[in-house]
């Protein structure tokens, strides 16, 4: 089968011919119909974050059709529409039992620790497979499983309650979902912060109040828009110390800042003014939970989470096209989400 693989970090991905993966007793072999190209994939290619082995097929946002199942698989059959939870976990360790399986002692991320979905086929254990409702196109099913799922987990971790106010820093793939989910969970006001006018426009379309970070300090703008109160919840989805600090500085008394964007750099905080004096909280967010996925699929199935608005572009399963998309991602271009459709 054809696969787009990371062979040498720091160099473009390569298109290679490899064997179709073998199917163990509890495995599901999926014919990939859509694989999202995520910012973290560009990070792997650029050597900004490590992958577990080389060469490796990237791609952790995957939807497709069941091609073949192992003899012990009960819940799926050939032809089923499915999407993949990108964490492969044991189901038995303390973290798995506690429902925090992203910390499973043997956790493997699809497209990072094991081969991912930039290929014609992918194999994953049944435990990581979810049925994709007919109403959700494969492309949307794929990106749901990363950006939307992580946005949902971030809002859960930040303990958003109805009537609260929210600021979302960065309106890329995660931000568009975060705006809609925050509104759906009853946020009174959602402020969307970005420098890109197209992304701000999209956020506004979904009911957010746009805050242009290129028009001035977003913290001051949010303070003004909330009459000096600040917001109850801030999500940082960019991965820059400056926006992380702005998220914290935007908080009201007892506010919670959930940090999702990745950076290796240090975040500076003024402990008294920004944390202690307001009893604010800074919360780390890592991936999401399998238990959050059914609710998310239901929101997408019923149209409460709309991923159809000019946010998806398709490219073929070709190294040149995929490398191009990653080049653009590295430059923070307008593309909100690009999906490989083999
Ligand atoms: Zn992703
Ligand atoms: Zn486990």
Q: Per-residue pLDDT for 93 more than 60?
A: yes
| All residues at 6 or more sequence positions from 137 whose CB lies less than 8 Å from its CB, including other chains | 34
Strand partners, 212: 194
Strand partners, 37: 338
CA of 38 to the centre of ligand 1 (A): 4
Residue 184: pLDDT band (50, 70, 90) is very high
Distances (CA, A) of 170 to 74, 153, 177: 41, 16, 11
Nearest to 298 by CA among 84, 154, 144, 163: 144
Q: Give the mean model confidence (pLDDT) for residues 212-223.
A: 97
Q: Cα separation of 68 and 76, whole Å?
A: 9
| Ion ligand 1, residue ranges at CB < 5 A | 38, 146
Q: Which ligand is closest to the CA of 88, given by its number?
A: 2
User: By the 8 A CB rule, do 51 and 9 touch?
Assistant: yes
Provide the pLDDT for residue 333: 66
Provide the pLDDT for residue 39: 84
Q: Cα separation of 149 and 32, whole Å?
A: 20
CA of 214 to the centre of ligand 1 (A): 26
CA of 152 to the centre of ligand 2 (A): 22
Q: Is the pTM of this model over 0.85?
A: yes
Residue % of the chain over a pLDDT of 70: 98
CA of 146 to the centre of ligand 1 (A): 5
Greater confidence (330 vs 233) lies with 233
CA of 308 to the centre of ligand 1 (A): 18
Q: Which ligand is closest to the CA of 102, given by its number?
A: 2
Q: Give the mean model confidence (pLDDT) for residues 107-114.
A: 97
Q: Which ligand is closest to the CA of 84, given by its number?
A: 1
CA of 37 to the centre of ligand 1 (A): 7
User: By the 8 A CB rule, do 171 and 148 touch?
Assistant: no
Q: Cα separation of 156 and 148, whole Å?
A: 12
> Terminal CA-to-CA distance of the chain, rounded, Å?
11
Instruction: Give per-residue pLDDT as tens, 53-69.
Output: 999 999 999 999 999 99
Q: Per-residue pLDDT for 278 more than 70?
A: yes
């Amino acid at each position: 089968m054809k696969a787009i693989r990371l062979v040498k970090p720091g160099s473009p991905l390569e298109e290679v011919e490899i064997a179709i993966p073998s199917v163990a007793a509890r495995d599901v072999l999926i014919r990939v119909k859509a694989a999202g190209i995520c910012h973290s994939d560009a990070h792997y290619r650029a050597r900004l974050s490590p992958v577990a082995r080389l060469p490796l097929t990237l791609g952790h946002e995957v939807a497709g059709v069941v091609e073949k199942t192992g003899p012990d698989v009960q819940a799926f059959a050939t032809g089923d529409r499915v999407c993949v939870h990108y964490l492969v976990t044991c189901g038995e360790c303390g973290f798995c039992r506690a429902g925090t399986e992203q910390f499973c002692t043997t956790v493997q991320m699809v497209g990072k620790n094991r081969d991912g979905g930039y290929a014609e086929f992918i194999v994953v254990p049944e435990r990581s497979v979810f049925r994709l409702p007919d109403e959700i196109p494969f492309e949307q099913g794929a990106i749901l499983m990363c950006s939307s799922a992580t946005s949902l987990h971030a809002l859960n971790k930040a303990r958003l309650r109805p009537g609260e106010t929210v600021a979302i820093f960065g309106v890329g793939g995660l931000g568009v979902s975060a705006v809609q989910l925050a509104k759906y969970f009853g946020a009174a006001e959602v402020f969307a912060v970005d420098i890109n006018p197209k992304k701000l426009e999209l956020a506004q379309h979904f009911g957010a109040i746009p805050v242009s970070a290129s028009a001035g300090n977003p913290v001051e703008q949010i303070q003004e828009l909330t009459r000096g109160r600040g917001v109850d919840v801030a999500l940082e989805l960019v991965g820059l110390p400056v926006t992380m600090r702005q998220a914290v500085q935007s908080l009201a008394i007892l506010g919670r800042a959930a940090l999702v964007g990745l950076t290796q750099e240090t975040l500076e905080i003024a402990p008294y003014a920004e944390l202690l004096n307001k009893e604010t909280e800074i919360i780390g967010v890592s991936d999401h939970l399998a238990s959050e996925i059914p609710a998310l699929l239901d929101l997408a199935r019923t149209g409460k989470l709309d991923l159809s608005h000019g946010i998806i572009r398709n490219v073929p399963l070709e190294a040149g096209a995929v490398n191009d998309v990653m080049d653009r991602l590295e430059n923070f271009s307008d593309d909100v989400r690009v999906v490989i459709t083999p």
